Amino acid sequence: MKSMSRVVVLWLFMMGVSWGQNSDLPIRGTNTKYEQGDWITYGQTRFVTSIALGQQFVYFGTTGGITRYDYWKNEWEFPFTISSGLADNSIKTIAFDENTSLLWAVTETAISVYTPSSEQWANYFLEDRGVTAHGDIVAIGFTQSSATFEFNDGYLFSCSNTGGWLRPYDSNYDGQNIQWAGYHQAPKGEYPHYFMDPGYFFLLNGTIQDDRLHKAPITVRLHDKWFKSWIGSWGMGALLGNTREQQLSFLNYGLFSRDVRAIALDKNGLWVGGENRNTSSIQDVNLAGLTYWNQVTEKWLYYESDFIPNLITDEVNRMTVAGSNLFCATRFGLSIFNKRQNEWTKLTTFDGLNHENIFDVAVHNGVAYVASEGGLNAFEIRALRTDTLEVYLIGGDDLKLSRVLDIEINENLLWAATDYGIYVYNIEEDTGGFVDDVNGPVGERITAVTAFKSEVWFGTSRGIFPYDIEKKEWLGLPEKNFSIDALIYEMAADKHSIWAATDQGVYKLNRRLRNWVHYTKQDGLSGNTVRAVLLDGDYVWFGTPEGLTLFYWNDPNRVD
């Protein structure tokens, strides 16, 4: 038994694996291994449930976390989500206690308390407190020494104003009036005759309507002493009303749709898409759309296929930026947006594509290579929107019979991840074939591929296989990793590290230390199913069904 233990320890040492925490455990609070802001998740925050006014921020409780608007600087700060330490992102109600300067939130599963001085969240799970039989918490109130919670069956429970165990409320406990938030902030009384941006109308019944007949009811409003009305809607996000000028303005922030599986950077900002259901109601949380976050102007723009003829669908598998063009690989064809001309174009099987379910696009020397369920196609980008456009086949009939799930171009070689192994295509020589080196994953399903300099990294059902083109050899342990028992969706590589997005979190190879690190929700991911990864200098972006997560991976003061 002792010798077996030594073998296991030696094997783990050779693999260089550093396992993360148990990803299934509830999030009890902020992970003190990281600084505030090391992990940030941007979610779908168009659905506002509550508002609280603090000493610096207006807080909006939403279905995608707590957004924070700095009313002194008139700008958004990063939101609070499970990446910050919240138990979950579905916020039922929030409140700010002026006595203690603590921010309180009720989520789907817990009561959460944020202490600004320590920049930490603490979560008290409702199941642990034995109060779930009373239904949802609908309001939070404060006295000088306690916090009180009203449930929708009318019962009141209270605890210390710094957190702790709930107890039935005793009205004689401190004899002071409770200052309530929550549903007590629900819109009451008449609204001003607000004017809005062109294309939007404010109806006096408390509903916002646009010229596409989308309607979003007002869910909550809060007046401050500066004659401002902070307003939340169900479907169109947060708004700011000036009661003197009777002007109502949008404070757009966050993703249009929650599910993220496609991320791309251009010179000004970030494109985000995913697999979200098409529906006609702006009040439906599953309404699909693409998001563009202009990080220069800090504007969030949204694109819906229902109103853009050549945006085939909002269900995007992958995004690629090349020059002024954005390529959206969708399950119904390829949609291309020319940002300079503000024009969309589409390509389908009618234009010569082998299949309409597109998995990836790569661009090299003005040619776009399209990976699909029917193999690999290519076309010259300059021929788009002309009669000379020709879509041609790459790889012949052999590749046409295989799904190409991911492609990567390394100098003049195109590497394709297929159901039947690795296919490599020499662009200059117009030749290609399947890799049959027995030291590699011959005949296996390859799900992801990435490259850096002379290295090409492949994600397979058996783990990760790296290949050095110059040395013409497969790398060994710990770079080769058979311990990742997960479906690898996408990979990214640079001189510092290798990243693998999987259905069980994210794995990173630290090149210098030659060890693998495993990240999960316990670290700060918005979900353990990670469909997209994109390197951005000292930061890395991840796409999950719960949103878009940014990680400051290169903090010099932290060792993972």
Degrees to nearest 5, angle at CA 326 with 40 and 487: 55
pLDDT digits (tens, 9 = 90+) for 465-511: 999 999 999 998 888 888 888 999 999 999 999 999 999 999 999 99
pLDDT at 479: 84
CA trace torsion 454, 460, 463, 465 (10° rounding): -20
b/e map 308-327, b = 16+ CB within 10 Å:
beebbbbbbbbbbbbeebbb
Q: Report the pLDDT value the prediction gives residue 186, as an integer from 0 to 100.
A: 58
Q: Are 218 and 248 in contact (CB under 8 A)?
A: no
User: What is the number of domains present in the chain?
Assistant: 3
Residues 347 and 494 in one domain: yes
The answer as to whether 144 is a domain residue is yes
From the first residue on, what is the mean pLDDT of each consecutive set of 10 residues in the chain (560 residues)?
35 43 76 95 96 95 97 95 96 94 95 95 87 87 90 89 85 66 64 90 91 90 87 95 90 94 96 72 66 95 92 94 96 95 95 95 97 95 91 86 94 95 94 91 94 96 94 89 91 96 96 94 96 97 97 88
Q: What pLDDT score does 558 carry?
A: 84
Same domain for 50 and 125: yes
Domain boundary among 215, 233, 250: 250
- Supply 396's token pair: 């012949």
In a domain, 190, yes or no: no
Which of 250, 272, 291 is where one domain is finished? 250
Residues 487 and 360 grouped into a single domain: yes
Q: Would you say residue 30 lies in a domain?
A: no
181 and 213 in one domain? no
CATH number for 51: 2.130.10.10
DSSP summary character for residue 457: E
Q: Give 278-301 pLDDT, tens digit per residue.
A: 444 455 656 778 999 999 999 999
Quote the pLDDT of residue 15. 42
Q: What is the pLDDT, as a whole number, of residue 12?
A: 37
In a domain, 264, yes or no: no
* Cα-based angle 203, 208, 211 (whole degrees, multiple of 5): 100
The pLDDT of residue 226: 81
Q: Which of 99, 94, 96 is nearest to 145 (CA)?
A: 99
- The pLDDT value given to residue 6: 36
Spatial CA neighbour of 541 closest among 46, 41, 65? 41
Query: Looking at the structure, do residues 104 and 236 belong to the same domain, yes or no?
Result: no
Same domain, 207 and 142: no
231 contacts 243 by C-beta, under 8 angstroms: no
Nearest alpha carbon to residue 489 among 430, 440, 523, 446: 446
390 and 464 fall within a common domain:
yes
The pTM assigned to this predicted structure is 0.91
Same domain, yes or no, for 472 and 509? yes
pLDDT at 204: 87
Does 278 fall in a domain? no
For residue 21, tell me if it sits in a domain: no
Radius of gyration (C-alpha) of the chain in whole angstroms: 26
- Domain-located, residue 557: no
Give the bridge partners for 240, in sequence order. 230, 249
Q: Which of 134, 156, 185 is the last residue of a domain?
A: 185
Angle at 513 (CA atoms; ends 509, 516), nearest 5 degrees:
30
Instruction: Give residue 237's domain range.
Output: 200-250
Element (DSSP H or E) covering residue 233? strand 228-233
Are residues 487 and 343 both part of a single domain?
yes
Tell me what pLDDT residue 279 has. 47
Q: What is the pLDDT of residue 172?
A: 56
pLDDT of residue 10: 33
**Nearest-angstrom CA–CA distance, 275 and 218:** 28
- DSSP string computed for 489-547: EEEEE-SSEEEEEEBTEEEEEETTTTEEEEE-TTTT-S-S---EEEEETTEEEEEETTE
Q: Is residue 3 part of a domain?
A: no
- 136 shares a domain with 243: no
Pair (369, 456) in one structural domain: yes
Indicate the length of the chain as a whole number: 560
Whether 377 and 503 share a structural domain:
yes
